[in-house]
Chains A and B, each alone.
Chain A
Amino acid sequence: MFLETRNLTKRFGGLTAVNNVDFTIEQGKINAIIGPNGAGKSTFFNLLSGFHSPSSGKVLYKGQDITALPSNKIAKLGIARTFQTTNLFEQSTVLDNVIVGHRLRTKSTLIDAIFRTPRLKREEEQCREKAMEVIEFAGLKKVEDKLVGSLTQEEKKRTAFALALATEPEIVFLDEPAAGVNPEETEGLAELMEKMVQNSITVCLIEHKMQMIMKLADKIMVLNYGEKIAEGTPEEIRNNPTVIKAYLGGNASA
Chain B
Amino acid sequence: MKILKRQYIILAMLLFAIFFPLVTQNEYLVHVMTLSFIWMIGVYGLNLLAGYTGYLSLAHAGFFAIGAYSLGLLTVKAQMNFWAAFVLALVITSVIGFLVGLLALRTKEHFFAIYTLCVGYIIYLVIDKWESLTEGVRGLIGIPAPGNIGPISFQTPLSQYYLVLSILLLSVLAMYRIIHSLTGRTYIAIRNSEDLAQAIGISTIKNKLTAFVLSTFFAGLSGALYASFIRFIGPDIGHTVITFDLLTYLLVGGIGTLSGPIVGTVLVVWISQQLQFLQDYRMLIFGPVLTLLVIFYPRGIVGAIASWTNKQAGRMKQRSLRDEKKEDSFPSSDIAPENQVKEG
Contact = CB atoms under 8 A, between A and B. Distances in A.
Same complex? yes
B288 interface: no
Interface in A156-186: 156, 163-164, 166-167, 180
Given A87-B192, A87-B193, A71 B199 contact: yes
Contacts, number: 106
Where chain A touches its partner, the secondary structure class is: helix
Contacts of B204: 72
B195 A113 contact: no
Contacts of B178: 110, 113-114
28 contacts: A49-B199, A51-B198, A70-B198, A72-B199, A72-B203, A80-B199, A82-B199, A83-B195, A87-B196, A88-B192, A88-B193, A92-B188, A96-B185, A99-B185, A103-B182, A103-B200, A104-B202, A109-B183, A110-B210, A113-B183, A114-B177, A114-B178, A123-B182, A124-B181, A124-B182, A164-B200, A180-B343, A180-B344
A253 B192 CA distance: 50
A87 B195 contact: yes
Interface of A: 49, 51, 70-73, 75-76, 80-83, 85, 87-89, 92, 96, 99-101, 103-104, 106, 108-110, 112-116, 120, 123-124, 127, 147, 149-150, 152-153, 156, 163-164, 166-167, 180
Nearest to B174: A114
B200 A75 contact: yes
B343 to A, nearest CB: 4
Nearest to B333: A152
A153 to B, nearest CB: 4
Contacts of B177: 113-116
Interface of B: 174, 177-178, 181-186, 188-189, 192-193, 195-196, 198-204, 210, 214, 337, 340, 342-344
Contact of B200 (A114, A124, A163): A163
A103 B185 contact: yes
B324 to A, nearest CB: 15
A163 B199 CA distance: 10
Most buried by B among A72, A81, A104, A150: A72
B180 to A, nearest CB: 8
Contact of B343 (A89, A96, A153, A167): A153
Where chain B touches its partner, the secondary structure class is: helix
A106 B201 contact: no
A185 B189 CA distance: 28
Given A87-B195, A116-B177, A153-B344, A101 B200 contact: yes
B344 A103 contact: no
Nearest to A71: B198
B214 A110 contact: yes
A232 B202 CA distance: 35
A82 B199 CA distance: 8
